[in-house]
Amino acid sequence: MKRGFLKNSKPAKTPANRTSTAGPPATTSTPAPDPDEFQPMTRLRFGKVEPALRGYQALQLLRQAVNGQTTDYSDNTVFVSTLPPLYPNETLASNPDSWTECVFWGGDHKRTIVSTPGFPSPIPRPRQVLHRVAPSRFGMGVFATRNIAMDDLIVSERPLLMAPHVIPPLPLNFSPDFKPTHAQIMEARMVQYEQYLDMALERMFPENCAAFLALHNAHTEDGSGPIYGRVRTNNILALDEPGGDSSRAMIAVFKDISRINHSCVPNAEYGKLDVASLSLQLHAIRDIKKGEEIFIAYCPPTMPTTKRQAKLEPYGFQCTCRVCSDPNSDAFVAKVKSLTSNPLAPTALIQAIYGDSAEWAVHLTEMAPELGNFLNRR
């Protein structure tokens, strides 16, 4: 079965640049909902900022061991837990599937995970190692070590870290007579969040902690701490909130999958986190030759080019792939989008155009005449 980006509701890699902290709304009007946007959060700053916060005393967080099986937490408790439960004397050598340090906001996600039938099941792996991390023209990247066929499982991985998609709006430790500005509140929340993330890193095996800290950080000047900066740079939206509260979604950071670079013409994609094994699977969406770099799309390739570029800016690069360089790509995508919203459009043609996220992009020009013929027939 082909996996199509356009018809797939899988989570997208996200810059995690939003927080639910109270404060002035980003705009005073209410724009029409954009299905490509994650709303309605306040956007965190990106770019060079001067520290707004001086003299803020971060709270001393309660550092206590959390039993992996405990799930009885109130909605506004933030706590760190290791999943699957880590028992004494276990090591990475005894369990190569490893463990995830989870920063939970409330107990819902932990309850969901530990009550999933089969949890914790072994990670489903490819029959042989098909990828390696190596220097790329984009910094580090992930490359195929063998020829990989479309739909093959390339890599399957348990996250190093999972955390709330937004910064939990916990009470802040400002003195009673101090009236912080919105920017100061935001910065205090980031300081506080960094503490929780630091707790998670402290609990990691040294190898996993080193792997996390080796990841790229594109958020060095926007008030993010060194851990949250790496989370913002490398996370993947992993768990939706069962109750539909998008602010409670969970993001995940991976040792290898987070190394995969972006292309609007990707050759691989991931689905939803497999909760039973607490792992993410990356599949090929076209044949990949040995030695070829593996790419995923950090944002939907169906977004207009300028919007994609804006989405990619927080990652610290400008995409120059063939779609971004093609002045006709936006018009083509708009046609395809309008076709799929037409219930009378023949399913077969839509599948031919839509069926493969790489195919539509790689054969953008070649497919255009086919689309034109279809439009003429109508």
Residues that bind Zn ion (CB under 5 A): 264, 319, 321, 324
Measured from the CB atom, the residue of 200 and 297 that comes closer to Zn ion is 297
What's the closest the beta carbon of residue 265 comes to Zn ion, in angstroms? 7
**Shortest spacing between CB 138 and Zn ion, in angstroms:** 12
- Tokens representing 288? 């990949």
CA distance 161 to 68: 15
| Smallest distance, Zn ion to C-beta of residue 155, A | 23
Residues 6+ apart with CB under 8 A from 344: none
Residue with tokens 């972006």: 262
Residue ranges of alpha helices (H) inside the chain are 108-114, 182-203, 206-213, 226-234, 305-312, 322-325, 329-340, 347-354, 357-362, 364-377
Pick between residue 42 and residue 261 the one whose CB is nearest to Zn ion.
261
Residue 12 or 324: the one with the smaller Cβ distance to Zn ion is: 324
Rounded distance between C-alpha atoms, residue 287 and residue 377, angstroms: 33
Q: Where are the alpha helices (DSSP H) in 151-222?
A: 182-203, 206-213
In the three-class reduction of DSSP (H, G, I as helix; E, B as strand; rest coil), residue 146 is classed as: coil
Q: Running DSSP on this structure, what letter comes out for residue 41?
A: P
| Least separation in angstroms between CB 255 and Zn ion | 25
Whether 293 and 141 have beta carbons less than 8 Å apart is answered as yes
In the complex with Zn ion, the residue whose CB is nearer, 264 or 273, is: 264
* Helix orientation angle between 226-234 and 206-213, rounded to the nearest 10 degrees: 70
Residues 6 or more apart whose Cβ sits within 8 Å of residue 180: 172, 174, 188
Q: Which is nearer to Zn ion, 163 or 319 (CB)?
A: 319
Q: Which is nearer to Zn ion, 142 or 321 (CB)?
A: 321
**In 3-state terms, what secondary structure has residue 204?**
coil
Query: Which residue, 288 or 324, has its beta carbon nearer to Zn ion?
Result: 324
Nearest approach, Cβ of 273 to Zn ion (angstroms)?
26
Helices first, then strands: H and E counts in the chain: 10, 14
Least Å from the CB of residue 12 to Zn ion? 15
State which residue, 234 or 329, has the beta carbon closest to Zn ion: 329
Joined tokens for residue 197:
């993330």
State the residue for tokens 């939803």: 272
